[in-house]
Structure 1
Amino acid sequence: MKKLSLLLLALILISTAACSSQESKNPQPETTPEATAEPVALKDGTYDGYDMQSPYVAKATVTIEGGKAVSYEFEECHLPNFWATLTEEEAEKLGEEEAMAVTVGTGTSYYARHVLLGSGDDTIKLTVLEDPWVAPNGSTYIEYGNDEIASFSEYVENDENAAWYFDQILAGNYWIADKDWNLMEDMSAYTMTRKDGVVLDKVDSRLKTKIMHWTAVGTGVGTEMGNNGWTGNLKILGDTLIELQFPDGEIAKNENNQVMIGDVVTSATIEQYEGYLDMFYEAYNKAKQ
């Protein structure tokens, strides 16, 4: 009986060793859980981002609901070095003390020397600086400032200042003034007539979505260029960001002049795409908890 027990034990040990040897020759693959990216926590609300597109400042608004980006808006408004212009007749009437002539090539533009923003105790008084500057597109502009603000265009690169300026424009609180800071009420700068005959009031005449100055070919309004126009280009960018929930990835253009966000190719072709995307992402990122 003892010999039988020893024989059975030996057989069990041999069988176990054989199985172990077989498993070592055919090791079982290790399984590793798939790495899952942590979802970004977003706080519901409405958030704004800004970008300087001198002589404009642009604004994007992104709305978060249920922890997701659900909608967006965008706008762009003129800075004083765009809207504080005078007709030749107005400039002659005001004289050199109140008007500044800027000659570029064979053309001359006229600007008010003094502008006032805001109302009541919340105002900013600006005076034209003597040296015009040339934008990347070749257009020549003047600049406004005061003892505390060396350049108003640089001043609104700060989000808080840009938000304040937008509020003043939307309230119609911008004025051409004389040297004693008396407001000039009846000036051509406060209205604009579009190519289609629509007359814009003091607020709408400062907003790019209302002016329609750069539109798609065939619209009959504004300067027609390309298939999308300014509004169309920004809608393409905004729609893409909402659909993809603001993806990470390099922002660039491909050989067909199309804006790319990571591997996604859009039909947007706008030249200032980096700044516009920056303001959308800035608004979105403010929602991250």
Structure 2
Amino acid sequence: MGERRHLLSLAFRMLGTISEAEDAVQETYIRWYRMDPLKREKIDVPRAWLTRVAGRVCLDMLGSARARRERYVGPWLPEPVPTSAFAELGEDPLERVTLDDSVSMALLVVLEAMTPAERVAFVLHDVFRLPFPDIAEIVGRTPAACRQLATSARARVQASPSRTVPRSEHDEVVRRFAAATRTGDLDALIKALDPTAVLRSDGGGVVKAARNPIYGADRVARFLLGALTKQPQAEVVEQQTHDGLGFVIWREGRITGVVTLDVLGGLVTNVRMVVNPEKLSLWTLPSGADEGTIT
């Protein structure tokens, strides 16, 4: 059970939600404990076995997950996680940066556009450093084919220009965006947004949210200011996220939304609002719990 956090971390990057990741980990453990005890004792490195099995489970789940998301009410967004969610991973500073970036909303959105095999190959190799022969066993292809899958996935990731913006620049632009939003200055807010900016709001049909993406700086700005006017009791607070500076929305003493943003060329290009309470479980822990820590 000491490998649970590692497996949950891996499964989340493949599936995009904590609930699905927990299901994948549970299935992995079921397969472990169903194994003949003598066979289990012969496994020298349990983490390696569990990682391979979790990879296969996630690969199977990705197909059905995609079908469910096609029936999802409104835009589907990955689940945002607090910056401390996988804090024990990555003791090496360089590894820490890689793991932090790999749970950013920006990257998870890119991963959603990949084929299941591409996503599994990329996560296992580029994030968790699994060798291609091991990945080949999981996806049922040759090591050379898996290398090509990872290369294709990596190209998709590198084609996302907003992910190359320095964190300091990102946060400066977001603060300018926030200032315009707080003062209700429509013109200033439009100027802080890229002309082709897009806002996506994920309520999952559980709470009120925009059912379709909103395109264009003017429409995005008007939507944001209108939403704040309609909810005067809501408090929008700056919050560091895996994507850089973002926001959490507080109502009646609890977090009811998490907002992350992409920045490029000194302007906000994407606004992602997750207000589906089923995707905010890590942000609404009981009083006294360590915020954002998966136990």
- TM-score, length-normalised on structure 2? 0.23
Q: Choose between structure 1 and 2: higher strand proportion.
A: 1
Higher relative contact order (CA 8 A, sep 6+): 2
Point out the structure with max Rg over C-alpha: 1
Taking structure 1 as the reference length, the TM-score comes to 0.24
Higher helix share: 2
